[in-house]
Amino acid sequence: MELPNAQETDSPPIAKKRRIPKACASCRRSKLRCDEKRPCSRCVSTGNACVYFERPKDPTEERFEKIENALSGIQERLNVSHGQPSPVATHSSISFEDDSLASTRSVVTRPPVANGHSDFTLREPSTTDLISSGLCSEQDARSWFRTFFLGCDRFVPVFDTTMDTFESVRARSSILFDIIVSYGCRAATGVLSRHYQILYSLLRRHTSDLILRLSASPDRPPLLEDIQGLLTIASYSDSGAVLADIALKAAVQAGLPVGLDSLFASILDTSSSDQGLATPRSLREARVWYGLFVLDHILSLDGGKPSSVSIHSSPRRVRALVSHPERTSTDLRLFAQVELNAIRSTARSSLTRDPVSATLSPDSISRIVNGTLLDLQIWLSEWQAIEFGDASSTTEHPVLLLNLRIQHAWAVLTLQLWALTASGVENIALMTDSQRNIALAAKSAAEQHLQLLLTNVQMPGDAPSMPYVANLCYAMEFVWAKNAFCILIVLRLGILLGDPPNSLIQRLTEAHQFLHELDKAGMGSNISYMRILAQTVDKCERAVKASMRAEERNSAESSDTDFQSFIPKEFMFEWDFPGLNLCYIPFDWQDLFLDFGTTA
């Protein structure tokens, strides 16, 4: 049988049907499965579903691809959280099936903080006060709040008792409320009481809270209550210089100086029918600004810190606020200090040594001192008249008038001591007549200051008392340091200038009386400055008694030297009181050469 020809018997090859790709270009490039059941985003937008057939992948290869895609997603989120541009993510983000990858995802998607870093978060300041936190009862809080406004507000005069009530302050600012209650507790129970020690740790936290709040929201104007809180802490804190500058910066950001200009402009606007009545908040802001001004000058003139704010207009301009209807009796104390510290600041700047000649001439020093003494006397007489004319604080007249005299004596004392420093002579034995006269004037001012501290005042309805010493439990740190220094300098100048023993015994008696009154006022717990006062009196008393015994001349010289060299470390590192470098070292050159000749 004949086989058929191959060409005849073989059927023509069946042409392979060409597959028409139904996948879109995007899916073909990315090689992703896309069908009617799971269409890609592009196909959903066009309303069509594409089908693309591909060779099944190896399971191991598919697993590696999932891991690569997961790592790519993590890197993308990290770039976004750090503010870096990242390519637009495709729809290939896979679900995190692995627990470790899922935990990684929860970390990197944490909302970033204000500084743009997702690895750090800032602590939120506390919003609950000490009553809600259980640190003290409401009854104690109310009692200590009242104590604060019995005297602390006189030393930190930036509050108004008609507005800053218990309920009002607590509702407006939990931090300011805690600060007021804490320092009221300090005045009522003492620095070393367990109550105050508990609240002191809270004050440290609130100091951090206030600084953190100002740092975390630099674009938002600071609250007036936050500035008041910082200023109060600065007044009672060892770090007052730093905190005062932070409060000053916050006050500038809040626009307090601009508000002060607006307040003065409203007073000058005589055409307005409600002149000065529509700006109660402006007076509150002015009060806080002037409080910062006074604290800055105290810390610069008496604490050695660089002055952070100065006044270019006349300080007498503050008297325009005396007639403001919202003005309080405590404001008079504040406004008077604004003028006083401006006068002191001008004198201190004038007595600064000339960088060329290194010292001022005696005539220049005399002219500056006499001019400043005249300004201080005018200040005292005019503010006494203003106080007498104030009908709103008749019960406080005696105390306020006494405070004016004490502040005047302090200003005169520091002025004379600054003048001695400017003369460039520390050894009283080598002073000229004019320099010695300045030293004698400083001694007289120091003695007057001590006697004013012990002045009895007849209060309305009460027996005569020493109100200044009794109110020291409310005082800020500067007042404690100032009084300790004044007792030290009055005794030292008495010895250095050769006062007779009877006069020195009188000064020692007054110093003992001051210490006794402090004990009666319950201030023995302030260990630091009580120790300074006690050591001052003890060392001076030994020196005086030894000098009165002629047979113990060597011992007298030793005691005198011991007292002259006594400078408490608090005055060296925390304050910058003048006159502590004064000494008396006699040089008899004729006797010295005579001794050499005799020896030869």
Condensed to tens digits (0 to 9), the pLDDT of residues 392-435 reads 666 778 888 999 999 999 999 999 999 999 988 888 888 999 99
8 Å CB contact between 287 and 160? yes
Q: What share of the chain is helix, strand, coil (3-state, %, to 5)?
A: 65, 0, 35
Sign of CA dihedral 387, 391, 397, 403: negative
Task: Say how far apart CA 178 and CA 166 lie, in whole Å.
Answer: 11
Residues lower than pLDDT 50 in the chain: 1-4, 6-11, 49, 51-54, 80-113, 115, 275-278, 551, 555-556, 589-600
| CB-count burial class (<10 Å; 0-12, 13-18, 19+) for 352 | exposed
Residue 320 CA to its chain's centroid (Å): 28
pLDDT value for 548: 74
Sign of CA dihedral 154, 159, 163, 168: negative
Cα dist. 539→209, 461, 482, 562, 566 in Å?
44, 41, 19, 7, 8
Cα dist. 367→16, 345, 375, 477 in Å?
118, 16, 12, 33
**E strand segments, 171-286:** none
Residue 210's nearest CA partner among 167, 244, 255 is 244
- What phi and psi, each to the nearest 5 degrees, are found at residue 371? -65, -40
- What phi and psi, each to the nearest 5 degrees, are found at residue 427? -85, 115
Task: Say how far apart CA 107 and CA 115 lie, in whole Å.
Answer: 17
Residue 345's nearest CA partner among 385, 378, 318, 308 is 308
8 Å CB contact between 492 and 169? no
Q: Within 13 Å and on the Cβ side, how many CA atoms surround 368?
A: 26
pLDDT value for 84: 45
The two tokens of residue 148 are: 């604060």
pLDDT value for 592: 43
8 Å CB contact between 447 and 492? no
The ranges assigned to domains in the chain are 25-87, 128-300, 424-600
pLDDT digits (tens, 9 = 90+) for 125-158: 777 889 998 899 999 999 999 999 999 999 999 9
The two tokens of residue 55 are: 């060779």
Cα dist. 117→71, 82, 113, 214 in Å?
20, 6, 6, 19
8 Å CB contact between 121 and 111? no
Whole-structure pTM value: 0.75
pLDDT value for 323: 87
Residue 422's nearest CA partner among 353, 345, 371, 348 is 353
Cα dist. 242→17, 176, 203, 327, 582 in Å?
87, 19, 16, 30, 30
pLDDT value for 89: 38
Q: How many DSSP H helices and E strands does the chain contain?
A: 25, 0
pLDDT value for 596: 41
